[in-house]
Amino acid sequence: MKDADQAVRELPLTTEGEERVLSAVDAVHTTRLKAIVAVHGWPTVAQVGHDGADAAWLLAQHADKDPAFQRSVAEAMEPLVAPGQVKASNYAYLWDRTHEPQRYGTQGRCVDKGRWEARAVEAPEKLEQRRAQMGLTPMADYQAMVSKHCEQFGR
């Protein structure tokens, strides 16, 4: 599922048909992941290894049409961070994707060609500390990296 998720995201997504393909792939993956979670709980490193846990997170991260599921996954992941059963950074990305204001500054948008801006962040004065705790790069470094993506894709 991870390979299909990434392959469809390599499409230019310039047509309505390509957008529909992306939505359809995400819907199938979300349904399948929900079924897996219902039977086995959230996939941990102990159950599926690092690659499997990362793949499950990626599918949840892209389940944007089902924000309630994304929130439930973030809640399930939270107690698994400290014992190392999920990546702290994966939890941070999903938490930010499902909460406003965000906590770790991982979600934003291209506002000008070559410039990325984070959505609102809670307690910005503690952002760097929270990012470090989750194994995330400093905000300035992250913003520079994502801004290159904005520039590369003309966004």
The per-residue pLDDT string of the chain (155 residues; one tens digit each, 9 = 90 and over) reads 999 999 888 877 677 888 888 899 999 999 999 999 999 999 999 999 999 999 999 999 999 999 999 999 999 999 999 999 999 999 999 999 999 999 999 999 999 888 999 999 999 999 999 999 999 999 999 999 999 988 876 65
Residue ranges of the domains in the chain? Answer: 1-99, 105-155
Residue 68 contacts residue 44 (beta carbons within 8 Å): no
Q: What integer pLDDT is reported at residue 142 of this predicted model?
A: 98
Q: What integer pLDDT is reported at residue 10 of this predicted model?
A: 81
User: Does the pTM of the predicted model rise above 0.75?
Assistant: yes
